[in-house]
Each structure stands twice: as structure tokens, then as C-alpha cells.
């Protein structure tokens, strides 16, 4: 990780070690133990010939920017390159590209792989932004999105693929697993096999399998290992982890990430130097924060499950043995994470009364921060979703979503207990 070990393969180290130092050599920055933030929009060429070489490397290289000199910060810059290198190592991926937000990452993926006349398969429910993008602007350019009924069932997948194929070749399969906020599971390996089957029928054109890994996070699920071509995550959530930045990342093979970087340059949706620096700093404690939040979440979920005012808890750790979801969860996920929903007995009035009594939990959307958050899904994150769809995806007036932070678990449980106990 310093000069002589600079090119050691990342799998020589544990994630905790990679998170702290991988990819940075203090000798590149006057010996500074921590990487400086490079606030510059452009980079001076040492000579005219070097300028030509930098452009040749960037525009003709397989992975623009990686080993080339920097040119202009929208193309690539040192803090971005370092963040991408370390994030890719944590993901066990060949390459990663960071974007100005999770949605910017998703936008680039969709624009890179879809053209008019194509169809897209997707799991359901989708994150609101993804749903809006697919069914709004992307549908608007003549791409047909088709939802998969049950992403754990081969027959259901085949049926959706059949329906999508009637609208045009299936160019991409967008998988959100676990789903936000229902924690519904999709079988990534099964979906990758469906993509292979579709390739045979589409003259070799294999749909790109994309997994939105935001809800569980990079440390608990490795979509690339299960056959996904691209794994995207919102850095805003677990990786950023402090609710103080917005960013997104995509990881995958070199041949997939290179074109995404080039497209990012055209869209202007790179992650800026300061936010890249902040995200890198966040990565250092990512494994540590994750372990604590996951342990806290297990305690809070147990408490809620046993509470008389709680009607149900959709915590992944409670998936029933013997169900298809449990089998896929055991194979695909390394833990239950720290974001889940629960339903209290009653409706909106009881939910609001409880929320207004909380002192430790902050009432806000988003997830994966050091602080515990709670929100009433139907009136906030799912406000614009029609009630019948809300019901279908398991969001009703009694549903509350919580993201558990790294506070002391006793304080979290006590906060919830006093708010629930005060309900009539
Ligand atoms: C937050 C989120 C996104 C979007 O990420 P931003 O960084 O807010 O753009 C995408 N997918 C899921 C599942 C999310 O929770």
C-alpha cells in the first residue's frame, strides 16, 4: 500500500485494511499520511508532446484516466481516481467509477446501454428515482420497462422476459435487491442465467445485468460474484455513512467501466474533488461502522418483534427458514444490514404520535448514516406512489422505515420503547 506494495493485489488484504490505506502512497504528496484534496479544475502539461500523449491515453485507452496524466477535472482528477481505486478494491472489482450521486450513476448506466426500441426488465418495487427515470425519460426515448413478478422464481422471470421481448430486445435487467423499503429479495444468479438464455434468443446480445446494491451495501453483498455485470451503490448511504455527502459508484470489469467513465465526462456527472476526498475518508471507517450498525439493528429488530404495539418487522434476519427468499439470502448476503421497516398497530395517527415522541431517532429520509433515522414511508418516501401500488409493495399507513446508526443500542431501544409505550 505504500511505494513498494503499491501494486499488491487487493485480495492480499482484509477489507478493514484496504479501507484505511489502499491505493495511496504518501510519497506522492510530500509524505502526507493522508491524501490532500486537490482543488483544481485543470492540470498543466509538462510539454506539448506530453499533452498529446495524455489525450491519446485518455481517448484511445481501454480505461480512460487510469494510468494517463490528468487533463481536466471533469474527465478525471486525483481524488476521484483514488476513491475509485479503493472502492473497487473493497468491492472486489476490477474497476469502479464514482458519480455525483447514485442517480447520476444509474442515469449513466441506462444511457450507456439502452437505445430506442429496446426493452428493460426490472424488479419491483424500485427506488423512487429509478422508477421515475425508467418510466419517465427513458420510456420517453422509446424504451419499454417491464416489471418482474417474482425475482426468485424462474418461471416468473421467463414470463417477464417473454413479455419484454414482445416490445423489443431486452437490453438490460435492473435488479434492486434487497428492495427499498420492503427488503424483498431477488436471486442475482438466477437473473444472470436468464440473461444468458435471452442472449441465445437475441443473436448473442446479452442483457446487461445491473444490481442496485444500495440497500444492503458493498460489505454485505457482492453482486459481481453472483453474476451481475455492474454493481451500483449510492455512496450517500452506507459508504458515505455520515449523511453529509451525495455520491454514487459503479463497479465491474474494465470493459464495462471504461465506457461509463467516458460517458460521465460527456454528462458532466463526475464526483468533485472535495466530495471524493470526503467519501474516501468515510471509507476508512466503513467496515467498523457497518459492524456496529448491523449489531445494533439486530438488537432493535428483536425488541420491536416482541413489542405488543408492533404488528410486524421486515428485518432480513427474520426471513423464515425453508422459504426461497431465505435460501437466496443465505447464499447471496453476508448479513441482514441495518435498514428495515416495521408496522405498528393502528394507522397514520398512531404512527405520527409515536414519531413525534422520539428523541434519539431523527425523522428524515435516507439511510446508512452514523445516526439512526426513521420515517413514515406512505407520507414521505412513497408520498407520490398511488395507494394501490403502495399496498402491493407492502407500504401502508402503519409502516415506518428505520435506519439504525452506531449509537448505544440501549438508548435506541429505550427511545423506541418510551414512544411505543405512550401509545393508547
Ligand atoms: C438513495 C438511493 C438511490 C439514489 O442515490 P442518491 O445518491 O440519492 O442519488 C438509489 N437506490 C437506492 C436503493 C437508494 O436508497
Contact 207, 157 (CB under 8 A): no
Q: Would you state the pLDDT for residue 177? A: 97
Q: Render pLDDT for 116-145 as a digit per residue (tens, 0 to 9).
A: 999 999 999 899 899 999 999 999 999 999
DSSP, residue by residue, 361-415: SEE-S---SSS-EEEEGGGTTTTTS-HHHHHHTT--TTEEEEE--SS-HHHHHHH
| Cell numbers given for 349 | 395517527
Q: Is 105 exposed, middle or buried (0-12, 13-18, 19+ CB in 10 A)?
A: buried
- Which string of b and e fits 321-356 if b means at least 16 CB within 10 Å? eeeebeebbeebbebbbbbbbbbbebeeebbebbbe
Q: Are 172 and 114 in contact (CB under 8 A)?
A: yes
How far is the centre of ligand 1, averaged over its atoms, from the C-alpha of 339 (Å)? 13
Q: Average pLDDT, stretch 400-421?
A: 97
Return the ligand 1 atom nearest residue 237 CA: 1
Per residue in 309-320, pLDDT (tens digit) is: 999 999 999 999
Residue 238 DSSP symbol: T
Pick the CATH number of 287-421 from 1.10.10.10, 3.40.50.1000, 3.30.300.280, 3.90.1150.10: 3.90.1150.10
Please tell me the distance from the alpha carbon of residue 326 to that of residue 338, in angstroms, as a whole number.
17
**Which pLDDT score is estimated for 8?**
63
Q: Measured from the CB, is residue 234 less than 6 Å from ligand 1?
A: yes
Ligand 1 atom at shortest distance from the alpha carbon of 235? 7
Under a CB-based contact definition with an 8 Å cutoff, are residues 180 and 365 in contact?
A: no
Say how many Å lie between the CA of residue 366 and the centre of ligand 1.
8
Q: Comparing 59 with 3, which gets the higher pLDDT?
A: 59
CA distance 391 to 381: 14
- What atom in ligand 1 is closest to the CA of residue 176? 13
Q: What is the DSSP letter of 318?
A: G
Q: Is the CB of 269 under 6 A from ligand 1?
A: no
Equal fold, 102-235 vs 287-421? no
> Is the CB–ligand 1 distance for residue 324 below 6 Å?
no
Residues 6+ apart with CB under 8 A from 198: 161, 165, 170, 206, 207
Who has greater pLDDT, 265 or 56? 265
Band of the pLDDT at 274, cuts 50, 70, 90? very high
3-state secondary structure of 269: coil
Going from N- to C-terminal start, the domains of the chain cover 102-235, 287-421
Ligand 1 atom closest to the CA of 180, numbered from 1: 13
Average predicted confidence (pLDDT) for the chain? 94
Helices and strands (H and E) in the chain: how many: 15, 12
Closest ligand 1 atom to residue 105 Cα is: 9
The band of 391, judged by pLDDT with boundaries at 50, 70 and 90, is: confident
Q: Is the Cβ–Cβ distance between 213 and 225 less than 8 Å?
A: no
For ligand 1, atom 1, the nearest C-alpha belongs to: 234
> Atom 8 in ligand 1: which residue has the minimum CA distance?
102
Terminal Cα-to-Cα distance of the chain (whole angstroms): 58
pLDDT at 3 over 50: no
Give kind and range of the element (H or E) at residue 231.
strand 230-234
Q: What is the number of other CB atoms lying within 10 angstroms of the CB of residue 394?
A: 18
Q: Which of 129, 338, 381 to mutate to test the pocket of ligand 1 (most atoms within 8 A of CB)?
A: 129
Give yes or no for residue 231 CB within 6 A of ligand 1: no
User: What cell numbers appear for 226 in the block?
Assistant: 453472483
Check: CB of residue 166 under 8 Å from CB of residue 180: no
- Element (H or E) spanning 88, and its range? helix 78-91
What residue owns the CA closest to ligand 1's atom 5?
102
| pLDDT value at residue 383 | 84
User: Over the stretch 143-167, which tens digit does the pLDDT of each residue have?
Assistant: 999 999 999 999 999 999 999 999 9
Report the topology of domain 102-235: 3.40.640
Amino acid at each position: 500500500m505504500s511505494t513498494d506494495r503499491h501494486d499488491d493485489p487487493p485480495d492480499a488484504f482484509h477489507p478493514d485494511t484496504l479501507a484505511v490505506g489502499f491505493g495511496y502512497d504518501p510519497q506522492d504528496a510530500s509524505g502526507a499520511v493522508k491524501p490532500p484534496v486537490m482543488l483544481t479544475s485543470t492540470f498543466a502539461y509538462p510539454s506539448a508532446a506530453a499533452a498529446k500523449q495524455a489525450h491519446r491515453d485518455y481517448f484511445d485507452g481501454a480505461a480512460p484516466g487510469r494510468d494517463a496524466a490528468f487533463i481536466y477535472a471533469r474527465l478525471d482528477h486525483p481524488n476521484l481516481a483514488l476513491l475509485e481505486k479503493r472502492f473497487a478494491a473493497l468491492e472486489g472489482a476490477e474497476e469502479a467509477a464514482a458519480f455525483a450521486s447514485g442517480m447520476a450513476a444509474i442515469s449513466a448506466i441506462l444511457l450507456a446501454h439502452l437505445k430506442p426500441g429496446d426493452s428493460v426488465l426490472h424488479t419491483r418495487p424500485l427506488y423512487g428515482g429509478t422508477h421515475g427515470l425508467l418510466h419517465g425519460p427513458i420510456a420517453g426515448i422509446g424504451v419499454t420497462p417491464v416489471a418482474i413478478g417474482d425475482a426468485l422464481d424462474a418461471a416468473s422471470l421467463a414470463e417477464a422476459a417473454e413479455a419484454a421481448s414482445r416490445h423489443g430486445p431486452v437490453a438490460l435487467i435492473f435488479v434492486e435487491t434487497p428492495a427499498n423499503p420492503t427488503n424483498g429479495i431477488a436471486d442475482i444468479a438466477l437473473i444472470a442465467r436468464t440473461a444468458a438464455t435471452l442472449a441465445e434468443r437475441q443473436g448473442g446480445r446479452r442483457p446487461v445485468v445491473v444490481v442496485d446494491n444500495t440497500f444492503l451495501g458493498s460489505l454485505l453483498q457482492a453482486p459481481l460474484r453472483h453474476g451481475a455485470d455492474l454493481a451500483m451503490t449510492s455512496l450517500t448511504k452506507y459508504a458515505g455513512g455520515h449523511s453529509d455527502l451525495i455520491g454514487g459508484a459503479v463497479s465491474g470489469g474494465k470493459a464495462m467501466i471504461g465506457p461509463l467513465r467516458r460517458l460521465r465526462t460527456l454528462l458532466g456527472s463526475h464526483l468533485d474533488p472535495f466530495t471524493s476526498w470526503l467519501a474516501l475518508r468515510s471509507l476508512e471507517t466503513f467496515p467498523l461502522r457497518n459492524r456496529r450498525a448491523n449489531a445494533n439493528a439486530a438488537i432493535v429488530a428483536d425488541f420491536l418483534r416482541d413489542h405488543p404495539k408492533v404488528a410486524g418487522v421486515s428485518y432480513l434476519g427474520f426471513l423464515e427458514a425453508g422459504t426461497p427468499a431465505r435460501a437466496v439470502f443465505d447464499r447471496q448476503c453476508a448479513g441482514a444490514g441495518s435498514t428495515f421497516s416495521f408496522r405498528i398497530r393502528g394507522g397514520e395517527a398512531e404512527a405520527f404520535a409515536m414519531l413525534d415522541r422520539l428523541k434519539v431517532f431523527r425523522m428524515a429520509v435516507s439511510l446508512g448514516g452514523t445516526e439512526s433515522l426513521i420515517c413514515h414511508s406512505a407520507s414521505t418516501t412513497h408520498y407520490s406512489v398511488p395507494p394501490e401500488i403502495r399496498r402491493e409493495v407492502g407500504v401502508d399507513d402503519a409502516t415506518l422505515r428505520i435506519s439504525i446508526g452506531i449509537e448505544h443500542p440501549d438508548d435506541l431501544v429505550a427511545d423506541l420503547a418510551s414512544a411505543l409505550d405512550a401509545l393508547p
